[in-house]
Chain A
Amino acid sequence: MNTPTLLLDGLPVPFSAGQTIMEAATAAGVFIPHLCHHPDFKPQGSCKLCTVKANGRYVSACTMPAKDGMEVENDSPDLNDKRRTLLQMLFVEGNHFCPSCEKSGDCLLQALAYELEMLTAHFAQFYPDRPVDASHPDVLLDFNRCILCELCVRASRDVDRKNVFALSGRGIGKHLIVNAESGRLADTGFSLADKAAHVCPVGVILAKRQGFLQPIGQRRYDRQPIAMQFASLPGSGGNGPEA
């Protein structure tokens, strides 16, 4: 039997049974924009950045199983326009002042904004008031930048077995909470050694005393745009090559 193959923007991409479109693309060195997807965790399909058109229908590449002969549209003006709009909504919903953010240059949200040439957040800014939690000795939580991807939730629950984080509320009121009666990170069993301390794609969960260590010009996405990093290191994992 022939290896099952899908067509990704016209390029034949072989895959093995059970792989998602995202996994097949990543193994082939093709970048599909994504925020809530990470190769180490079960996909949950919530951010919709990875939306592609499979056989004419909009689907999430991170959850949709690849099928033999499937025609997938990924890098097209239509899809990239929609993805840019999603990014713009994420930017105005929080407070993303990149010049003062320790994650800048190494941030997945910012790297996607560059990739999709987002020059303005377009919508009116919300400027929400979200106090930071600096209670923990080793880790700062800056909720201003949370994009609700639940990677920390999944890491703390499924890998660390500590259940430190959860999302609470609905719709525009949805927000990240810390599992302690006081609501403070210091009052949980959280530690810098936890997997959850290292999965946040943006600048929320930050190790203290390590900010701005890498000079501007040498940070991960200063060196090369994110899509090119995927192309040069096929199979390197779905969240970008590690620095």
Chain B
Amino acid sequence: MNPPAGQRRLRLATTSLAGCFGCHMSLLDIDERLFDLLDRVDIDRSPLTDTKHCGPCDIGLIEGGICNAENIHVLREFRQQCKVLIAIGACAINGGLPAQRNHLDLGQCLQEVYLTGPGIIGGRIPDDPELPLPLNQVHPIHEIVRIDYFVPGCPPSGDAIWKFLTDLLDGRTPRLGHPLLHFD
């Protein structure tokens, strides 16, 4: 599936913020269709390339919500560099599993995990200045920057991601009908 005549190759960037990499695993789940995808796109910043910063891109895929200060910097970089930004998976869209901590006090969470939880002796709350500071709540990415498309699912299946990407690359309005559209 080479780009149709006269169409240039597109640049795609991906990242996982407050996610579990499940959506990236689902992207890999398109299996041999990855070759078709790579015929049409070059991959810029992504866990797949280990490139650390995003150049100008056509499409950005964001997995995960916003749970710390670094997530916000990365998200803003993606918004600046990508013409089309896509929220992929439950966590990017509504906070998902990480947001289940939102009704808890962050200080108490850290205390329990690193100091007072069962089996912890001589624990310490990590305070390396290189570590990004956690936010008091986890939020979806559309609350920080404008998002162009949303692909729900926890994770969306490889088939859903493939349907979405091919619709987009072929210039159709991306659409996930039954059974590809699901929230779990």
Contact = CB atoms under 8 A, between A and B. Distances in A.
Determine the interface band of chain A, counting residues with CB < 8 A from chain B: 20 to 34
Contact of B154 (A98, A127, A222, A224): A98
Interface stretch (B29-37, B40-48, B68-76, B134-142): B134-142
16 contacts: A97-B96, A97-B97, A98-B184, A99-B90, A101-B184, A105-B184, A117-B176, A119-B151, A119-B152, A120-B152, A125-B99, A125-B140, A127-B99, A127-B103, A128-B103, A224-B178
B97 A114 contact: no
Interface string B71-94: 000000000000000010010011
A133 to B, nearest CB: 15
Sort A-B residue pairs by CB-CB distance and give the 7 closest, nearest first.
Answer: A98-B183, A99-B154, A129-B103, A119-B150, A120-B150, A127-B102, A99-B184
Contacts of A125: 94-95, 99, 139-140, 143
B179 interface: yes
Given A97-B100, A99-B97, A120 B142 contact: yes
Interface of B: 87, 90, 93-97, 99-100, 102-103, 137, 139-140, 142-143, 147, 149-152, 154, 175-176, 178-179, 181-184
A60 interface: no
A120 B154 contact: no
Nearest to A223: B179
Contact of A120 (B87, B96, B137): B87
A190 interface: no
